[in-house]
């Protein structure tokens, strides 16, 4: 710190003499010839010590220093006088205007000693002032006690944190803050550490004046006197309520799913491990339930992730409302949830809960303008029967869940060892499927569609087949769901569309009669942003006219279109394509949507055709669909026609077109021309002859 000295005297010789005396003492010396000049210098300079002559014109030294005291109270003020008017100085000292006075002539040695002492006094005053400012302004609470724990002083932060004012705290002990959360052993250990080391720090809980308990971080230090004996203790503490809250929030987020606030995989695994250890010690039973929402990806793809998130939150709420307090429901990700059922008496308890959950989930969901019906597939694995380790229990429950999906969803299945074999086969199949497209293992077969009135073939449906490297032909029922689940349906679906268009164009170029070719469109394909441009690009590349391509969509896609993507269908229809609703009658709310869709054809699902000739109810459904379609100016195709009785009924009911094994199984592309020629030459292929047998 720089030491600055201001000398004020109207006698230049006195100023010069003092400068000569002090110039080697390291001071920065300023001089002024009057009190006014001195005040002007003080405005621009930080001065520690002032020596002023008493006898000066216009303003005496005492008058000058009195003004300095009011303006700059931290300066050390000394007056210098040639005569002994002690009463003036005594009064000024008593009022605090001056620190001390010197007489003329002065003793050089004594003058230097007194000035050095004045600077020491200034620096000590500055340090005390800084300490006071820190004490008063720090955000941490400060409490000074004596060795008997009597509070001697507190700072404003102490009052702000605890609520106790200085009048309420000073003279009492820190016991006024005790919350009761720490026992006597805690405080005994604290004092022992403090006595042994002279300091202690740690976390504890105290109580505010209003009764609120709060966490604080406390540091206590012993203060020693000049003889090294402890005479006081200083406690510095901070309120860590917000820090604790943030730590708890971070800990919660680390173990919970952000969207649903259910436990996540980390917390679920931990609870499963503890439950297993308890079950092993007590020879008790527990169950793990693995739940996956059926077709949840369709909700995200068609209605958007915001609606999907709200569905997940709703499902999470339904799970927590239907499980016991000791059970744990967790979200694994996507539409997957797990439930831990510790210490259950019997496996039937898990089945009862699964039925209860399935019933709760399938209740309608009303989100904005949407009425959604959600179902789930559930797999159950039980300890100790199915597995003894957490990982195996989870894997087995997952395997059982896939078995439930294979059975159509909206059901539960227990794990059985045979499922492991099935799971391995499925994994192998999936790995092979991922390479099938680039290895050219996919091929298309074509099933003819016959006009009932003329008996002529009017179209074909393109059907995907997969022949593995070993030459095995895999059933579409096995690999189509895998294509959907893995997302491979997008590139494979694009290949099917392009291949079908090119094949139809090639047939026409070879002289075959123009035929309509029908291609199935998956929900994932329909959800693509560039679907219309992709379809038109396929037509352009193949040279096929739009009128000879028909896209088949399912009822679920149809309803999604009405809810938000109707313009996509309109754009396709406007481009000249034909549109068909596939598997009609298997969904719900179909009739209310049908009139709004720009479709040309309705395909009756084969589940109604199969028994229509012998089941009056199925026959009535088929008749109703045909009548409805004709009233709406739509064409009707019946799928899965395999018997003459079915054909005869459809002919009687006025169905427009049919396809099925009665006329032809799906044919390879190279076999279709020969089949067409055979039909043209064989007079027994007419519809009437088929119907009459």
Q: What is the pLDDT of residue 381?
A: 94
CATH of domain 4-136: 3.40.50.2300
For residue 413, pLDDT beyond 60: yes
Q: Tell me, what DSSP letter sits at residue 676?
A: H
For residue 311, pLDDT beyond 60: yes
Which has more confidence, 688 or 515? 515
For the chain, the domains span 4-136, 138-245, 260-416, 430-692
| Antiparallel, parallel or unpaired: β 230-239 and 141-146 | antiparallel
Taking phi over 0 as left and psi of -120 to 50 as alpha, with beta for the rest, 429 belongs to alpha
> What does the pLDDT look like over 35-86, one tens digit per residue?
899 899 999 898 889 998 888 888 888 889 889 888 988 888 888 886 655 5
> What does the pLDDT look like over 632-683, one tens digit per residue?
899 999 999 999 999 999 999 999 999 999 999 999 999 999 998 888 776 4
Q: How many CB atoms lie within 10 A of CB 405?
A: 20
Q: What is the pLDDT of residue 122?
A: 80
> What does the pLDDT look like over 450-505, one tens digit per residue?
999 888 899 999 999 999 888 888 888 888 888 887 888 999 999 999 999 999 99
Place of tokens 């009190």: 35
R_g (Cα) of the chain, nearest Å: 47
Q: SS3 string of 146-214?
A: ECCCCEEEECHHHHHHHCCCHHHHCCCCHHHHECCCCCHHHHHHHHHHHHHHCEEEEEEEEECCCCCEE
Q: Which two tokens stand for residue 58?
A: 């216009």
Measured between alpha carbons, how far is 380 from 359 in angstroms, rounded to an integer? 17
Measured between alpha carbons, how far is 322 from 628 in angstroms, rounded to an integer? 43
Q: What is the pLDDT of residue 640?
A: 92
- Residue 349 pLDDT level (bands cut at 50, 70, 90): confident
CATH superfamily of 138-245: PAS domain (3.30.450.20)
Q: How many CB atoms lie within 10 A of CB 461?
A: 25
For residue 589, pLDDT beyond 50: no
CATH of domain 430-692: 3.20.20.450
> What does the pLDDT look like over 252-275, one tens digit per residue?
888 999 999 999 999 999 999 999
Whether the CA torsion 318, 320, 325, 329 is positive or negative: it is positive
- Determine which helix (DSSP H) or strand (DSSP E) holds 49, and give its type and residue range: strand 49-53
For residue 19, pLDDT beyond 80: yes
Q: What is the pLDDT of residue 528?
A: 84
Q: Tell me, what DSSP letter sits at residue 511?
A: T
Which has more confidence, 432 or 566? 432
pTM equals: 0.52
Distance from CA of residue 679 to its chain's centroid?
62
Task: Give the mean pLDDT of 304-323.
Answer: 92
The domain defined by 260-416 folds into Alpha-Beta Plaits (3.30.70)
Measured between alpha carbons, how far is 146 from 143 in angstroms, rounded to an integer? 10
Measured between alpha carbons, how far is 550 from 572 in angstroms, rounded to an integer? 10
| Antiparallel, parallel or unpaired: β 442-451 and 365-367 | unpaired
Which has more confidence, 122 or 446? 446
> What does the pLDDT look like over 156-189, one tens digit per residue?
889 999 999 999 999 999 999 999 999 999 999 9
Measured between alpha carbons, how far is 242 from 196 in angstroms, rounded to an integer? 33
- Residue 315 pLDDT level (bands cut at 50, 70, 90): very high
Phi, psi of 632 (to 5 degrees): -95, 10
């Amino acid at each position: 710190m720089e030491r600055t000295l201001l000398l004020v005297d109207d006698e230049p010789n006195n100023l010069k003499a003092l400068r000569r005396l002090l110039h080697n003492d390291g001071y920065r010396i300023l001089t002024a010839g009057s009190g006014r000049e001195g005040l002007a210098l003080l405005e621009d300079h930080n001065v520690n010590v002032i020596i002023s002559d008493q006898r000066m014109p216009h303003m005496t030294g005492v008058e000058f220093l009195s003004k300095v005291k009011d303006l700059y109270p931290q300066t050390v003020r000394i007056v210098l006088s040639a005569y002994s008017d002690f009463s003036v100085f005594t009064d000024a000292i008593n009022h605090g205007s001056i620190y001390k006075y010197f007489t003329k002539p002065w003793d050089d040695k004594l003058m230097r000693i007194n000035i050095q002492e004045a600077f020491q006094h200034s620096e000590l005053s500055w340090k005390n002032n800084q300490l006071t400012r820190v004490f008063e302004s720090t955000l941490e609470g400060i409490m000074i006690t004596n060795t008997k724990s009597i509070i001697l002083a507190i700072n404003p932060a102490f009052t702000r944190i605890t609520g106790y004012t200085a009048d309420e705290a000073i003279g009492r002990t820190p016991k006024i803050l005790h919350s009761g959360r720490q026992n006597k052993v805690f405080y005994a250990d604290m004092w022992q550490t403090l006595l042994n080391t002279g300091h202690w720090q740690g976390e504890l809980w105290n109580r505010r004046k209003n009764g609120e308990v709060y966490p604080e971080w406390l540091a206590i230090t012993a203060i020693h006197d000049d003889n090294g004996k402890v005479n006081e203790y200083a406690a510095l503490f901070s309120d860590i309520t917000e820090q604790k809250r943030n730590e708890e929030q971070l800990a919660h987020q680390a173990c919970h799913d952000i969207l649903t606030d259910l436990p996540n995989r980390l917390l679920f695994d931990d609870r499963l491990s503890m439950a297993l250890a308890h079950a092993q010690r007590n020879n008790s039973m527990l169950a793990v339930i693995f739940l996956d929402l059926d077709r949840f990806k369709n909700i995200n793809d068609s209605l958007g992730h915001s609606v999907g998130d709200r569905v997940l939150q709703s499902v999470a709420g339904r799970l927590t409302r239907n499980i016991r307090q000791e059970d744990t429901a967790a979200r694994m990700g996507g539409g997957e949830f797990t439930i831990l059922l510790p210490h259950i008496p019997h496996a039937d308890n898990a089945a009862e809960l699964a039925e209860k959950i399935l019933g709760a989930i399938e209740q309608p969901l009303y989100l904005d303008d949407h009425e959604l019906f959600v179902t789930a597939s559930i797999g159950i694995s039980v300890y100790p029967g199915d597995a003894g380790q957490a990982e195996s229990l989870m894997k087995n429950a997952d395997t059982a869940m896939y078995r439930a999906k294979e059975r159509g969803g909206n059901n539960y299945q227990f794990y059985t060892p045979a499922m492991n074999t099935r799971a391995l086969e499925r994994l192998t199949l999936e790995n092979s499927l991922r390479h099938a497209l680039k290895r050219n293992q996919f091929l298309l077969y074509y099933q003819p569609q016959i006009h009932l009135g003329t008996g002529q073939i009017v179209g074909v449906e393109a059907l995907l087949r997969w022949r593995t490297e070993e030459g095995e032909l895999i059933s579409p029922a096995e690999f189509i769901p895998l294509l959907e689940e893995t997302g491979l349906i997008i590139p494979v679906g694009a290949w099917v569309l392009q291949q079908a268009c090119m094949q139809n164009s090639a047939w026409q170029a070879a002289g075959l009669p123009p035929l309509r070719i029908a291609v199935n469109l998956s929900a994932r394909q329909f959800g693509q942003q560039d679907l219309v441009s992709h379809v038109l690009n396929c037509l352009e590349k193949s040279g096929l006219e739009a009128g000879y391509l028909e896209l088949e969509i399912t009822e679920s896609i149809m309803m999604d279109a009405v809810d938000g993507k109707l313009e996509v269908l309109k754009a396709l229809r406007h481009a000249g394509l034909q549109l068909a609703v596939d598997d009609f009658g298997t969904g719900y709310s179909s009739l209310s949507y049908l009139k709004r869709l720009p479709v040309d054809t309705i395909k009756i699902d084969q589940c109604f055709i199969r028994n229509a000739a012998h089941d009056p109810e199925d026959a009535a459904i088929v008749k109703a669909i045909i009548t409805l379609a004709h009233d709406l100016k739509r064409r009707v195709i019946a799928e899965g026609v395999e018997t003459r009785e079915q054909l005869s009924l459809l002919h009687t009911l006025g169905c427009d077109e049919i396809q099925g094994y009665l006329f032809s199984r799906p044919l390879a592309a190279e076999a279709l021309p020969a089949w067409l020629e055979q039909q043209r030459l064989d007079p027994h292929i007419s519809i009437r002859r088929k119907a009459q047998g």
